[in-house]
Amino acid sequence: MDEHQRELYPELTRFFDRKELLEVLDRLLEASQQPAMYEITDYHWLVVHECLEMFCGLHNDDALGDDGKVGPSSTRSTPRRS
């Protein structure tokens, strides 16, 4: 799995192994749900950027299901646009 992570996220693997990255993501999610203001670091911006880039790529490739999860939709109500 770490080899795939290095291929998918070369910038992130310079700073985080898989376990550390998941911990950062958990902390960012938790902080986003708190009423207090949380100032994110340059490392956090990098993580957010990489996550959004992957999500946008999956969205543009029509790889998100109707529920927003990754994978083909089994209940697609409208045909895919070409």
How many folded domains does the chain comprise? Answer: 1
* Backbone phi and psi for residue 61, each to the nearest 5 degrees, phi listed first: -85, 5
Please tell me the distance from the alpha carbon of residue 70 to that of residue 55, in angstroms, as a whole number. 9
11: Cα within 13 Å, side-chain hemisphere: 11
Taking only the tens place, the pLDDT of each residue in 36-80 is 988 899 999 999 999 888 888 887 887 777 776 765 555 544 445
pLDDT tens by residue, 3-31: 777 777 788 888 988 899 889 999 999 99
Q: Is residue 80 part of a domain?
A: no
Contact (Cβ atoms closer than 8 angstroms) between residue 71 and residue 63: yes
- Residue 72 is assigned to a structural domain of this protein: no
- Residue 8 domain-assigned? yes
Residue 53 domain-assigned?
yes
**Structural domain boundaries enclosing 11:** 2-60
Evaluate whether residue 78 is within a structural domain: no
Asked if residue 10 is part of any domain, the answer here is yes
11 is a domain residue: yes
